[in-house]
Amino acid sequence: MPARLSVDTVTVRAPAKVNLHLAVGPRRPDGYHDLTTVFHAIGLYDEVTLTRADALTVTVDGASGVPTDSTNLAARAVLALAKRTGHDPTVAVHLAKGIPVAGGCAGGSADAAAALVGCDHLWGTDLSREQLLEVAATLGSDVPFCLVGGTALGTGRGEQLTSVLGQGTFSWVLALSDGGLSTPTVYAELDRQREQGPVTVATDAGEVLAALRAGDAVLLGRALANDLQAPALALKPELQSVLDAGEALGALGGIVSGSGPTIAFLARDADHASSLAAALSARGVCRSVRVATGPTPGARVVKAA
């Protein structure tokens, strides 16, 4: 057998996600909530480069407010995989951020998934896909999905995944906000609203799954549902004007992405997404807009040397 070529540096690309359906159950004794969610990976990426080094370090490009200490989710992923496999966690982690920070698009989870894939490649661990997914689940509820990508049904706290049959590609416009929202704060606001009285709840994911099977963007636009939208709007009321603008400009549907504050609008096709993005931008209702298609694969090595 030829000797394994030693790799010193590896770059992994990991996608953002939107939740096409997010139904949140009651708060569990462990503080989490049981979910029924449909994750959808979109072509907005973070690139994570891992290089063998003398110490574990984190540097960041393209965003502010990302921690560079051991609380960084990519650093935690390196440490978790090192512990699981007996390797030395001495790598320089560089994050090139394309996913909005604290935006409800799983940017931190994407970095963690990328770090797992990258270290797995760098160290040549013999972990199976299932074992890597187990480590991913210890890091955060969205991290397993960021490894897998595509479109998947998530249950449990979001970490138990089943792939979803679908066809076609969907075109999205993401409206980015000034400032982020903290995920625990949005869940706590949902709990508070529920204590005060009945609130609208996302029912089952059937309509979204049918729209995906049919590859029908119009049906999908109508079926989008997110229980975290009301609490996100309560915490950031200005998001309503973004949703209203997208609807007025002809989006097939619009939804707060995960715990927000990014808003995802579904367009008919790529041309419609470009014109919708330009029109939204001209309205000046959001910080910036991005266009992306989904589904797209999960964290993948794009360069190794």
- For residues 82 and 177, give the distance between their C-alpha atoms in angstroms, rounded to a whole number: 36
Number of other residues whose CB lies within 10 A of the CB of residue 112: 30
Q: From residue 148 to residue 177, what is the string marking binding to ligand C5P with x (rule CB under 6 A)?
A: ---------xx-------------------
Q: Which is nearer to ligand C5P, 72 or 141 (CB)?
A: 141
**Element (H or E) spanning 109, and its range?**
helix 107-123
Contact set for ligand C5P, span 247-276 (CB under 6 A): none
Rounded to whole angstroms, how far apart are CA atoms 169 and 67? 34
Query: Residues 75, 79, 85, 88: is their CA dihedral positive or negative?
Result: positive
The DSSP string of 271-291 is: HHHHHHHHHHHHHT-SSEEEE
The one among 140, 246, 258, 295 contacting ligand C5P by CB under 6 A = 140
Is 190 one of the binding residues for ligand C5P (CB under 6 A)? no
d(CA 157, CA 235): 23
Report if residue 33 touches ligand C5P, rule: CB under 6 A.
yes
183 binds ligand C5P (CB under 6 A): yes
Among 10, 18, 22, 35, binds ligand C5P (CB under 6 A): 35
Order of all β-strands in the sheet with 263-267: 253-256, 263-267, 170-176, 288-294
Shortest distance in whole angstroms from residue 206 CB to ligand C5P:
21
- At closest approach, how far in Å is the CB of 138 from ligand C5P? 10
Closer CB to ligand C5P, residue 120 or residue 159?
159
Residue 32 binds to ligand C5P (criterion: CB under 6 A): yes
d(CA 158, CA 154) in angstroms, rounded, equals: 5
Stretch that binds ligand C5P, among 56-64, 181-189, 228-236, 279-287 (CB under 6 A): 181-189
For residue 227, which of 191, 175, 182 has the smallest C-alpha distance? 191
Residue closer to ligand C5P (CB basis): 111 or 142:
142
CB atoms within 10 A of CB 237: 9
Which amino acid does the sequence have at 303?
K
Distance between start and end Cα atoms, the chain: 21
From the list 46-54, 61-69, 134-142, 167-175, the region that binds ligand C5P by CB under 6 A is 134-142
Length of the chain: 305
Catalytic residue positions, numbered: 17, 142
Report in angstroms how near the CB of residue 159 gets to ligand C5P at its nearest.
Answer: 8
187 scored as a contact of ligand C5P (CB under 6 A): yes
Largest CA distance in the chain: 66
- Compute the distance between CA of residue 81 and CA of residue 105 in angstroms, rounded to an integer: 24
Min separation Cβ 5 and ligand C5P, Å:
36
Residue closer to ligand C5P, measured from CB, 158 or 254: 158
Which of 125, 141, 171, 177 is the binder for ligand C5P (CB under 6 A)?
Answer: 141
The answer to whether 184 contacts ligand C5P (rule: CB under 6 A) is yes
Residues that bind ligand C5P (CB under 6 A): 31-33, 35, 140-142, 157-158, 183-184, 187
